[in-house]
Amino acid sequence: MVTLSEENYLKAIYHLGKQGKEAVSTNAIAEHIESKASSVTDMIKKLATKNLANYIKYQGVSLTEEGRLAAALVIRKHRLWEVFLVNKLNFSWDEVHDIAEQLEHVKSLQLVNKLDAFLEYPTHDPHGDPIPDKDGNYSPIKSINILEIDTGKEGVLSFVKDSSDVFLRYLNKNHLALGDTIKVLDFEPFDNSLMIETTTKKMIISKEVAQNLYLSV
């Protein structure tokens, strides 16, 4: 049985190490989960004894196949619950992350699979992140960052890298949502800002905002 705390560590390593395949440092994990490096090292050793992680001192930690599957299934639950909260309970996309953080630790796979069927097998969560299937697999996101799109070209907003409530509220305030068609009108090399156009308005976005917007073209 994997504990709640262990699931959080597996998920962190999964995200930081490209699905857990690449080794990440204990300091990077500590920063990500806001913990002490010594506490991280203790937990990693526990994960290694359960055959969930590969750990070599001073070389970082990656996940075993078993660890990657466990992490992917936690992520699967998180993203399915986000879809449920938005589509069925009418939560806004900036309200669901913290609630899904609690619901992702439900142990019943039968419940999760029935939830998946009830939602008609969604492939992406409300922020555009892909949802792993019951075997932990998913298709990679086929989109490019808006900074890579040539001036005069357009695409459909399909993924936001930053799913924090602060950033999502910024998008809400500026009437930007998944599925919107966005055209790049101009690029300012001085500060890497962009002038963009949607179906309703023109606006300037900063480099920091642009780095988090991905379009299907």
Q: Inform me whether the pLDDT recorded for 37 exceeds 80.
A: yes
Q: Which of 205, 171, 179 is nearest to 92 (CA)?
A: 171
Spell out the domain ranges in the chain.
4-63, 144-216
> Comparing 50-54, 161-165, 203-207, which segment has the lowest mean pLDDT?
161-165
The verdict on domain 4-63 having CATH code 3.30.565.10 is no
Tokens in use for 181?
């068609």
| Helices vs strands, H then E, count in the chain | 8, 8
The pLDDT confidence band at residue 203, using thresholds 50, 70 and 90, is: very high
- The residue with greater pLDDT, 1 or 108, is 108
Share of the chain above pLDDT 90, in %: 89
For 65-89, write each residue's pLDDT tens digit. 999 999 999 999 999 999 999 999 9
Q: Which of 111, 86, 87, 110 is nearest to 97 (CA)?
A: 86
Q: Inform me whether the pLDDT recorded for 195 exceeds 90.
A: yes
Tokens in use for 200?
């309703």
pLDDT mean over 15-35: 91
Share of the chain above pLDDT 70, in %: 100
Answer yes or no: same fold for 4-63 and 144-216.
no
Task: Give the pLDDT confidence score for residue 58 in this predicted structure.
Answer: 83
- Measured in whole angstroms, the distance separating CA 190 from the mean position of its chain's CA atoms is 30
Distance CA 154, CA 51 (A): 46
Task: Give the pLDDT confidence score for residue 126 in this predicted structure.
Answer: 94
The pLDDT confidence band at residue 142, using thresholds 50, 70 and 90, is: confident
Q: Inform me whether the pLDDT recorded for 114 exceeds 90.
A: yes
DSSP string, 54-93: EEETTTEEEE-HHHHHHHHHHHHHHHHHHHHHHHTT---T
Q: Inform me whether the pLDDT recorded for 18 exceeds 90.
A: no
Task: Give the pLDDT confidence score for residue 42 in this predicted structure.
Answer: 94
Architecture category of domain 144-216 in CATH: Roll (2.30)
The pLDDT confidence band at residue 217, using thresholds 50, 70 and 90, is: confident
CB 106 within 8 A of CB 180: no
pLDDT mean over 170-181: 95
Q: What is the mean pLDDT of the chain?
A: 94
